[in-house]
Structure 1
Amino acid sequence: MNKLLRNRQGQLRNGWWILLFMAVFVASQGVYRPVSKGLQGLGIDKQWLSPLPVVFLLLVTWICLRLRRQPLSGVGLRLDATWLRHVVCGVALGTAELLVVSALIYLAGGVRFELDPARGLAALGHGLWFFAWGAVLEELLFRGFVFQRLVDGIGAPMALLLAGLLFALAHLNNPGMQGSTLAWATLDNALGAILLGLAYLRTGSLALPMGIHFGWNWTQGSLLGFDVSGLAQAGWLAPHLLDKPQWMSGGSFGPEASVFAVVVDALAVLLLWRWQGTAGRAAHALTVGPAPACPPPPPACC
């Protein structure tokens, strides 16, 4: 029984930590829902409550880390100058990726752009608020405590593949997920998750994946005006899809359902795989087998 609960070092096995996280997360929803409804009942618009689920997820993560006798920074939230540089690098990379995908769709005759008559700084600011909190939430959920326990338990390669599958499955109910969109968007979501997982492994920080995630979504929705994962957006530009197959333009789902997004994300995954990273853990993080339980913190480098 003791072997079932603990590893050779006497530590609780990672599978049990994941189950504990899930139990605490489910319990937290019993508090989150009435708090959210109560705040909306006080007249606070739902869009301004975007930080609330992040706060609850941080609390769940903090509880689990405290039980492991680790600080909250241990999950990849060491908020210092290096962390900020990684965020900036991530935003630049995510923005560049989406611009390349959009340029390829444009050159293939899949879209033309016009200035949106209703554009304004307010729309850009609203998108910044919404996509920033969304990126923080999803990265904490998919590259945070659970993903890191998977890396420690089954090794980085299998953890990346499993996290990619889970991330793709989590988006299956998005609007427009059918036909060729289902195939290409699911593949791109899985590749995107692997890319973001590699960004964490190569730096030992959630800053780079958060920046990539935000840069891609904000550029796609708030700047270029594409739908994001099937959800309509108001952007600075107004894209008009032309008479091309959905697998080329992404259709109403957005560029994530385009073959060009798959190609660009695959190339980005390859580049990050070959990159040696900035963290001391990068040398062993992608080897087969469990990673050390307490990797050293990343040095100050972007």
Structure 2
Amino acid sequence: MAADNIVEKKEPERLPVWACIPLFIVVFFVCMGLYGILAQGFLSLVLGVEARHPGMVGYILLEGGMLLAVLTAAVIMLRLERRPFSDLGLSVKGHAKGLWYGFLMAVLLYLVGFGLSLVMGEVEVSGFQFRPLDLLGALLFFGLVALFEEILMRGYILGHLLHTRLNKFLSLFISAALFAFLHIFNPEIAFLPMINLVLAGMLLGASYLYTRNLCFPLSLHFFWNWIQGPVLGYQVSGNNFMSTMLKLHMPEENVLNGGAFGFEGSLICTVLMIVCTILIVWWGEKRKTISLETPQSC
């Protein structure tokens, strides 16, 4: 065949990254509405009038529906983008240590943070109770919370921002700000809790810059919430969902103990998250395990 008869095939135009994220959010909300209606119908069918106050069962179903919605939206978008599901970073292979390190960091944060709060007299333990079923229910609930929020904020949104010309730390900040905005309607929200939620988003996303994997942030997020609420007795981002092992008393609600928002509303938490984020970035910059091109389309 003559060379001049060869017609070069053009690559099909793809949706730009800046359009992928808004479209993903729209698809997610549509799916969330659909699954929410199905979950409410299921609760009404099973519980009848009690469906108005379903307790932990309702929370688990709601969070399960949100997780299913974000997974559905991710699958749809990744198919449109011709990208594999593995791009979300959910693989445990080669990253199992991240689960262990996330647990250790959560424990260390509360050993220091809660310990300081006790020593300074900002919180007092006023009671103790052990209810295994409540702890197991909380375990499932906060596992779903961690999966949902990490797939949404780090796996998809931060993952896509890192495929642009944006500086990786700016991408991290944008995803962290969106993570904080996700909690804008939480009870007792205020300026310092919002700042801390941005810092939490940066702490959770820092390792993803270097590993493109969710094992560490998933584990840290999960144990952070579970230890904070069901075990230690704090409010979790302003919410009080269930009974707790420890009963806490705050002589005065202030910025040192976080007040009604919980530990995440405290200055102690602010300092600890900044220190831990810096340590993760220092570790990541030393390793430099990931080298990605930065395509301008999905």
Q: TM-score, normalised by structure 2?
A: 0.84
Q: What do residues 123-144 of structure 1 show as CA deviations (whole Å, max 9, x unaligned)?
A: 2212111111111111111112
The corresponding residue for 2:248 is: 239
| Counterpart contact for 1:95–1:212, Cα < 8 Å | no
Q: Where in structure 1 do 4 or more consecutive aligned residues deviate above 6 Å?
A: none
Does residue 120 of structure 1 match 2:131?
yes
Does residue 99 of structure 1 match 2:111?
yes
The corresponding residue for 1:222 is: 230
Does residue 62 of structure 1 match 2:75?
yes
The corresponding residue for 2:6 is: none
- Change in CA separation of 1:31 and 1:229 when aligned onto 2, cut-off 3 Å: same
Q: Determine the C-alpha separation between the residues in 1 that align with 2:288 and 2:27.
A: 30
| Counterpart contact for 2:172–2:205, Cα < 8 Å | yes
The corresponding residue for 2:200 is: 192
Within a 5 Å distance, the mapping from 1:1-302 to structure 2 comes to 11-43=14-46, 45-49=57-61, 50-80=63-93, 82-117=94-129, 119-153=130-164, 154-177=166-189, 182-232=190-240, 233-243=242-252, 246-276=254-284, 280-281=289-290, 291-293=293-295
| Counterpart contact for 1:204–1:279, Cα < 8 Å | no
- Tell me which moved more, 204-213 or 268-277: 268-277
Question: Deviation at 1:194?
Answer: 0.6
Q: Determine the C-alpha separation between the residues in 2 that align with 1:26 and 1:176.
A: 25
Letter in 1 for 2:100: V
Q: Determine the C-alpha separation between the residues in 2 that align with 1:13 and 1:272.
A: 30
Q: Count matched residues.
A: 273
| Counterpart contact for 2:176–2:200, Cα < 8 Å | yes
**Gapped runs of 5+ residues in structure 2?**
1-10, 48-56
Q: TM-score, normalised by structure 1?
A: 0.83
- Tell me which moved more, 270-279 or 245-254: 270-279
- Change in CA separation of 1:150 and 1:103 when aligned onto 2, cut-off 3 Å: same
- Change in CA separation of 1:11 and 1:173 when aligned onto 2, cut-off 3 Å: same
Letter in 1 for 2:81: R
- Change in CA separation of 1:25 and 1:93 when aligned onto 2, cut-off 3 Å: same
Q: What do residues 4-44 of structure 1 show as CA deviations (whole Å, max 9, x unaligned)?
A: xxxx9965321121132123223323422221122212326
Q: Determine the C-alpha separation between the residues in 2 that align with 1:125 and 1:114.
A: 23
| Counterpart contact for 1:185–1:256, Cα < 8 Å | yes
| Counterpart contact for 1:224–1:237, Cα < 8 Å | yes
Question: Deviation at 1:269?
Answer: 0.8
Letter in 2 for 1:20: L
**Gapped runs of 5+ residues in structure 1?**
1-7, 286-290, 295-302
- Tell me which moved more, 130-139 or 19-28: 19-28
- Change in CA separation of 1:17 and 1:168 when aligned onto 2, cut-off 3 Å: same
Q: What do residues 140-165 of structure 1 show as CA deviations (whole Å, max 9, x unaligned)?
A: 11112122111212231111111222
Q: Determine the C-alpha separation between the residues in 2 that align with 1:23 and 1:35.
A: 19
Compute the RMSD of aligned alpha carbons. 2.3
Letter in 2 for 1:18: I
- Change in CA separation of 1:26 and 1:52 when aligned onto 2, cut-off 3 Å: closer
